[in-house]
Chain A
Amino acid sequence: KAGVTQTPRYLIKTRGQQVTLSCSPISGHRSVSWYQQTPGQGLQFLFEYFSETQRNKGNFPGRFSGRQFSNSRSEMNVSTLELGDSALYLCASSLEGTAYEQYFGPGTRLTVT
Chain B
Amino acid sequence: DQQVKQNSPSLSVQEGRISILNCDYTNSMFDYFLWYKKYPAEGPTFLISISSIKDKNEDGRFTVFLNKSAKHLSLHIVPSQPGDSAVYFCAGLELCIQEQGGADGLTFGKGTHLIIQP
Contact = CB atoms under 8 A, between A and B. Distances in A.
Interface of A: 4, 31, 33, 35, 41-45, 47-48, 55-58, 90-92, 94, 97-107
Given A42-B111, A100-B93, A106 B104 contact: no
A104 B91 CA distance: 14
Contact of B49 (A41, A92, A100, A103): A100
B83 interface: no
Given A100-B32, A100-B93, A106 B107 contact: no
Given A55-B102, A90-B43, A99-B104, 20 more contacts: A4-B43, A33-B103, A42-B108, A42-B109, A43-B44, A43-B110, A43-B111, A55-B101, A55-B103, A57-B103, A58-B103, A90-B44, A92-B43, A97-B104, A98-B104, A100-B93, A101-B46, A102-B104, A103-B43, A104-B44
Contacts of B73: none
Nearest to B106: A99
B25 interface: no
B53 interface: no
Contacts, number: 74
Size band of the interface chain B makes with A: 20 to 34
Q: Is the interface of A mostly helix, strand, loop or mixed?
A: strand
